[in-house]
Structure 1
Amino acid sequence: MENMERKLYEAAMAGSVNTLLELRQQDPLIVERPTVNCLSETPLHVAALLGHEDFAKEILRQKPRIAEELDSRKSSALHIASQKGYVGIVKALLQVIPDKCSDTDVDGRNPLHLAAMRGHIDVLEELARAKPDAASARLIWGETILHLCVKHNQLEALKFLLENMGDSELLNAKDDYGMTILHLAVADKQIEAIKLLTTSTAIEVNAVTANGFTAWDILAQSKRDTKDWDIGELLRRAGAISAQDLQLPANELAVIQTNSVTSHENNQKHEGYYLRGF
Structure 2
Amino acid sequence: MEQRLCEAAIDGNVESLDEIIGADQLILDKVVVGCINPNPLHVATTLGRTQFVQRLVHLKPELVEVLDSRYRSALHLATTKGHFDIVQALVRVREGRQMCLARDRDGKNPLHIAAMEGHGRTLEVLVGTIPHAARVRLDSGETILHLCVKHQQLNTLSLLLQDSRSRVC
Same fold (TM over 0.5): yes
Matched residue, 2:47: 50
Matched residue, 1:217: none
Please say if residues 68 and 76 of structure 1, whose CA atoms lie closer than 8 Å, have aligned partners that are also in contact.
yes
Please say if residues 101 and 110 of structure 1, whose CA atoms lie closer than 8 Å, have aligned partners that are also in contact.
yes
Larger helix percent = 2
Q: Distance in 2 between matches of 1:146 and 1:136?
A: 9
Question: Tell me, which stretches of 5 or more residues in structure 2 are unaligned?
Answer: none
Deviation at 1:11, TM superposition (A): 0.8
Q: State which of 16, 20, 23 in structure 1 corresponds to 2:17.
A: 20
SS in 2 for 1:33: helix
1:143-222 alignment to 2 at 5 Å?
143-166=142-165, 170=169
Letter in structure 1 aligned against 2:103: T
Deviation at 1:133, TM superposition (A): 0.5
Q: Distance in 2 between matches of 1:26 and 1:99?
A: 32
Matched residue, 2:70: 73
Deviations 1:105-125 (A, max 9, x none): 010000000111111111101
Deviation at 1:19, TM superposition (A): 1.0
Deviations 1:174-217 (A, max 9, x none): xxxxxxxxxxxxxxxxxxxxxxxxxxxxxxxxxxxxxxxxxxxx
CA radius of gyration, larger in: 1
Which aligned segments of 4 or more residues in structure 1 are displaced greater than 4 angstroms?
Answer: none
Q: Distance in 2 between matches of 1:29 and 1:91?
A: 26
Please say if residues 44 and 77 of structure 1, whose CA atoms lie closer than 8 Å, have aligned partners that are also in contact.
yes
Matched residue, 1:100: 99
Q: Distance in 2 between matches of 1:99 and 1:68?
A: 9
Matched residue, 1:117: 116
Deviation at 1:77, TM superposition (A): 0.4
What TM-score, normalized by structure 2, do the two folds share? 0.91
Matched residue, 1:239: none
**Cα RMSD for the two superposed structures:** 1.6
SS in 1 for 2:155: helix
Q: Distance in 2 between matches of 1:87 and 1:164?
A: 20
SS in 1 for 2:163: helix
Please say if residues 41 and 63 of structure 2, whose CA atoms lie closer than 8 Å, have aligned partners that are also in contact.
yes
| Higher RCO (CA 8 Å, separation ≥ 6 residues) | 2
Letter in structure 1 aligned against 2:153: Q
Deviation at 1:36, TM superposition (A): 3.6
Equivalenced residue count is 164
Letter in structure 2 aligned against 1:151: K
What TM-score, normalized by structure 1, do the two folds share? 0.56
Q: Distance in 2 between matches of 1:30 and 1:138?
A: 37
Letter in structure 1 aligned against 2:6: Y
Please say if residues 79 and 122 of structure 2, whose CA atoms lie closer than 8 Å, have aligned partners that are also in contact.
yes
Letter in structure 1 aligned against 2:141: G
Deviation at 1:22, TM superposition (A): 1.3
Deviations 1:58-83 (A, max 9, x none): 01111111111100011110111111
Please say if residues 107 and 138 of structure 2, whose CA atoms lie closer than 8 Å, have aligned partners that are also in contact.
yes
Matched residue, 2:131: 132
Q: Distance in 2 between matches of 1:41 and 1:148?
A: 30
